[in-house]
A and B are shown apart, each in its own frame.
Chain A
Amino acid sequence: MSTTTNPYDDPSALVPLPSPLVSAPSTLFRTGPGEFYSEVSVFVNLDDFNAAWSISLSRLETAVIEALQFTAEAPTVQELKDSLWGFSAEELAQISRAIERLWECGLLLQTAQEEKRLGNEASVQSSRRISGYLRTQVDARTSQVLREKLARWAAERPFYGEKFADLSIEELSVDSLSQVPILTKDEARSNLPGILSPRLANYQVEWRGSSGTTDERFQAAHDAGSGNPWSGEARSINRHYRVYPSSVLTTPVCSGTECHAEMELPFEQRRNPRGDRGFLYFFFNSGMNPTAFPEAKLQAIYDELQEHKPTRLTANAAYLAGFVYWARKKNLAPPKLDVVWAGFEVPSRIHKRAIQDYFGCRVFETYGLTEAGGELAIQCEAGGNLHFVPWEYLFEVLDDDGQPVPAGEAGTIHLTTLKKEFTPLVRYNTGDRGIARGACECGCPLPAIGLVEGRQKDMIRSTTGQCIYPRQLDRHLSQVATGIGWYQLQQTGDEHYRLWVVPEGDFDAPEQGAVQDALISLLGPKAELAIDTTRSLSPSMSGKFRLSYRTDQVQ
């Protein structure tokens, strides 16, 4: 027990904070080797208007002070030190010194007092956590959760009881995960009642379904109002991840419950739809075809960006690109954004570049599945990989035999949703192609996979039979592409391809020639490639904008 005197033993001596303050969680995390960062988010509630700010500092000492300033509920120094785990000894010493200095300075948290006043104990508790993990701790925790969850699900869910009948669950770990049988979409769909939680009746449920045709969609139950599925640890992957206020521009039909595009709801009804305290979301009305958004819709998006002033914009890049092209032509000053998160499908570099250039901010990618709860992996700043919190959402990249592929190699992404109780998916074949990764250079101990290569069903083949996924195609094409607004490459036969291009600027003989050469080098010398321009391209039924697919096979 520490004997340090708390200079603010008498709470009445505290200067009251402004009453609208309702929450101030903070996190200390790494942003790269030897780099630390603290993010303090202060959420206030002014009448009906919620707002949030993030204060970011890069020096460790200041970062620690900032982190603790808003998190401690008059804890002792020892308690604070005990809450630090997962840092190296050297890091821990540095942080401890900062804590002691903070204590001596008497910089005590008033936030906690306010939280208590509001009876928000959960927030007080969670705001005291300072995150940081070693990989061994990550694996240990994941293995523990894995055993607990699989044992429970096998006991109470008929489908998993049967599926795991021959499995020694008590001996499982992340290293022996390949003993657990794979779950296909067909299997999950056909056995839904045997997967659902037996306690479902007691809770409010939100159904989310992946879009698309029968072979790819799947409906799953989610805890209504649970909001973002991530835990606080997710923020340690990328400091831009949780920055509010936030806006979303996605496909019109990405989810029956998430998207508002088809309904054309008025501005106020699309604002903060979750009602989460202080978390301010805004959904744009989207449109059926990003290459042909009507002028009025584009103007509305611009006006609403100005009105809502999001710090972060989450978007399907193909859709946001349509807005960017229009805004550039109109010479409209870019709305101020800190970051754009590109999700929902593999974004084209062409679109990412356009978005980055216009808004003047970085574009990161997210990866997730609607049926599993949205964004489940996010791109880190330093390494560019998709990290995930494995004891919540565990990704694996597997070969055709269900075995993990070595780091750097490609395979099919499988997901285990350890955090999801209502519709848990265990080693679920997502149908997406990904690349396995080892330790990420960003220093984050949370595991990662490479950026997603694309959906299996969007794969085409070169004339020599090699698989080409959308990301690979896009890497190739975007290096030489100028004058392309959107494109889709269709494979119409084993050696026949057709590239449809919606031009954005000049796309004449020289530009087409460069694209032709680049694609032939990818598709093979025997490839018969036709390049055509068109005024619009239609997304698929799910609203996703496919960069490539075969037309000579059933999709």
Chain B
Amino acid sequence: MQINEIRAQFPVLQRRLAGRPLIYADSAATALKPECVISAVQDYYGRYSANIHRAKHLLSQEASEAFEQARETVARFVGAQNQEIVFTRSTTEAINLVAEGLELAAGDNVVGTILEHHSNILPWSSRCEYRPVPLEDNGLPSLRAAEQAIDSHTRMVAISHCSNVTGVLVPVEQWVQLAHSKNVPILVDGAQIVAHSKVDVSTLDCDYLAFSGHKLFGPTGVGVLYGKAERLEALRVTQLGGGAVSRVEADGSYTLREIPWRFESGTPSIASVIGLKAAVEWLDRIGMKKIQELNTALRQQVLEQLAGIPKIVHFHPPAEIDAVGTFSFRETSGKFPPDFLSRMLSDSFGIMARGGHHCAHPLHDSFAVDGSLRLSLQFYNTAEEVSLMRNALESLLRFTPA
């Protein structure tokens, strides 16, 4: 599939603002949705809208089947077994589900890194001691520091596969090895990686993987928690209700269902799960290898076109370090604060970019800045668009001191 064919499948990319095409550079926040995902959601509501698992009528069976097919599709996508895939609302809920289920206590600790998203900090830090390791000069979190931080009270290593701010790709297989060598489970926050590269948990060997449907071109309102079956079995179920149990007695005692359903009480976001299935199938049709190639080419554009822009300081890793096309920076004089630069890029150039701290206060603190402007690219972006981003930035930066 050629890039133009791919782009043609995104209705948002057909939109024009004041006569100019829209350039979407906020995929780290949420990816755009291809037509097939939108249709799948519409099809569910229009043709077989029914609750799942709870009735034997035709519509319910159709919906249940589509829902469980989605589980199978997602499981295959990450190299897992069906029962190892739990549908949640989001990555955040997936990580919280693990943190709460582990029954962490005072005296326990969790080792993380300074580049984590708040959603991979707070579930741990609110329950036990949290130990973030710093970055090395190359932008990667220090494995050596992690080795020193892990002790006999470490209950989890929790790390992002890819930073939502710098775009750096963390060699998580090394972290998995380290954690397992210390008999500590590891949770990988895969929110930023699954839409860029193939992640196979059967080879990665992580204990948990959490990611969001909406960053994977699917609808909002659905997240995924992968957990090794034995790990999920051992987690305490903290959200009880209909769907999580196979039997409830008059005195309130109950029998839990098997994994993964015991973690999915209440009516799930059925349409979103079905939409996610469509997204994953669509990615399969294009091929993750092709997607990775396109994203690698975009990362090269970032290095060539954006990293050299004068009058900015950026936080993207050097060329020799693997990264995706996520580029965060600040204008050095302070004349264009990130929020306003974001507004100007949007209003005057049709470029949708995000200003702020991107839910990563500790990382920005480590850079001694209070926020950044982030351009986050996905394989539907083009080299021409990166060039337009550069031109737009330069046309504004000429109003800053030399």
Q: Among residues 187 to 236 in chain A, which have CB atoms less than 8 Å away from a CB atom of chain B?
A: 189-193, 196-198, 200-202, 204-205, 207, 209, 214, 217-219, 221
30 contacts between A and B (CB under 8 A): A186-B18, A190-B19, A190-B348, A191-B348, A192-B347, A193-B348, A193-B395, A193-B398, A193-B399, A198-B399, A200-B335, A200-B399, A201-B333, A201-B335, A201-B398, A201-B399, A201-B400, A201-B401, A202-B401, A205-B335, A207-B340, A207-B344, A209-B343, A214-B346, A218-B347, A219-B343, A219-B348, A221-B399, A256-B339, A256-B340
- Cα distance A209–B344 in the bound complex, in angstroms: 9
Q: How far, in angstroms, from A159 to B19 measured CA to CA in the complex?
A: 17
Q: How far is A207 from B19 in the complex, measured between Cα atoms in Å? A: 25
**Distance to closest chain A CB from B61 (angstroms):** 37
Q: B392's closest neighbor in chain A, by CB?
A: A193
Q: A8 to B136, alpha carbons, bound, how many Å? A: 73
CB distance from A488 to the nearest CB of B (A): 27
B20 touches A219 (CB 8 A): no
Task: Knowing A190-B18, A207-B337, say if A219 contacts B347 (CB, 8 Å).
Answer: yes
CB distance from A209 to the nearest CB of B (A): 5
Residue contact A219 to B18, C-beta cutoff 8 Å? no
The residue of chain A having its C-beta at the shortest distance from the C-beta of B337 within the complex is A207
Are B344 and A219 within 8 A (Cβ)? yes
Asked whether A189 lies within 8 Å of B340 as measured between CB atoms, the reply is no
Q: Residues of A contacting B336 with CB < 8 Å?
A: 207
Q: Within the complex, what minimum Cβ distance (angstroms) separates A159 from chain B?
A: 11
Smallest Cβ distance from B35 to chain A, in angstroms? 21
Neighbour of B347 across the interface among A196, A204, A214, CB < 8 A: A214
What residues on B are CB-neighbors of A190 within 8 Å? 18-20, 348
CB-CB under 8 A from A186, the residues of chain B are 18
- B6 beta carbon closer than 8 Å to chain A: no
Rounded to whole angstroms, the CA-CA distance of A227 and B399 in the bound complex is: 22
| CB closest residue in chain A, given B340 | A207
Q: What separation, in Å, do the CA atoms of A209 and B339 have in the docked complex?
A: 11
* Chain B residues near A221 (CB-CB < 8 A): 399
**Cα-based distance from A198 to B401 in the complex (angstroms):** 11
Closest to B311 in A: A201
Q: Is the CB of B396 within 8 A of A193?
A: yes
Q: Which of A189, A200, A202, A209 contacts B18 (CB 8 A)?
A: A189
Q: Knowing A201-B335, A207-B337 touch, does A189 contact B348 (C-beta < 8 A)?
A: yes
C-alpha gap A424/B344 in the complex (Å): 16
Residue of B nearest to A207 (CB): B340
Q: How long is the Cα–Cα vector from A218 to B344 in the complex, in angstroms?
A: 8
Residue of B nearest to A195 (CB): B348
Give, as a whole number of angstroms, the nearest-CB distance from B339 to chain A.
6
**Interface membership of B402, Cβ < 8 A:** yes
Question: Does B8 reach chain A (CB closer than 8 Å)?
Answer: no
A190, B346: Cα distance in complex, Å: 10
Q: Is residue B3 contacting chain A, with contact meaning CB distance below 8 A?
A: no
B350 closest partner in A (C-beta): A190
When distances are taken between beta carbons in the complex, the residues of chain A under 8 Å from B399 are 193, 196-198, 200-201, 221
The 7 nearest A-B residue pairs measured at CB: A207-B340, A200-B399, A192-B348, A186-B18, A193-B395, A189-B347, A201-B401
Residues of B within 8 A of A217 (CB): 343, 347
Interface hits, B347-366 → A, CB 8 Å: 347-348
Which residues of the partner chain B approach A196 to less than 8 Å between Cβ atoms?
399
B383 part of interface (Cβ distance < 8 Å) = no
**Cα distance, A16 to B325, chains bound together (Å):** 68
A201 touches B402 (CB 8 A): yes
Residues of the B chain whose Cβ atoms lie less than 8 Å from the Cβ of A189: 18, 347-348
Are B400 and A214 within 8 A (Cβ)?
no
Contacts A201-B400, A201-B402 hold; do A214 and B17 have CB atoms under 8 A apart?
A: yes
Between A186, A192, A193, A209, the greatest number of chain B beta carbons within 10 A of the residue's beta carbon is seen for A193
B340: chain A residues within 8 A (beta carbon): 207, 209, 219, 256
Closest chain-B Cβ to A190's Cβ sits at a distance in Å of: 5
CA–CA, A427 to B340, complex, Å?
24
Contacts of B400 in A (CB 8 A): 201
Q: Shortest Cβ distance from A75 into chain B, in angstroms?
A: 42
Mark out the residues of chain B between 307 and 336 whose CB falls within 8 Å of any chain A CB in the assembled complex.
333, 335-336
Residue of A nearest to B348 (CB): A192
CB distance from B305 to the nearest CB of A (A): 19
Closest CB in chain A relative to B231 CB, distance in Å: 40
Residue with the highest number of chain A CB atoms closer than 10 Å, among B18, B336, B337, B347: B347
Identify the closest chain A residue to B396 (Cβ). Answer: A193
Chain A residues in 8 Å Cβ range of B396: 193
A191 to chain B, nearest CB (A): 7
**Which residue of B333, B343, B398 has the most chain A CB atoms within 10 A of its CB atom?**
B343
| Set of chain A residues within 8 Å of B337, measured between Cβ atoms | 207
A198 to B399 alpha-carbon distance, docked (Å): 7
B26 to chain A, nearest CB (A): 14
Give B18's nearest chain A residue, CB to CB: A186
Question: Least Cβ distance of B337 to chain A in Å?
Answer: 7
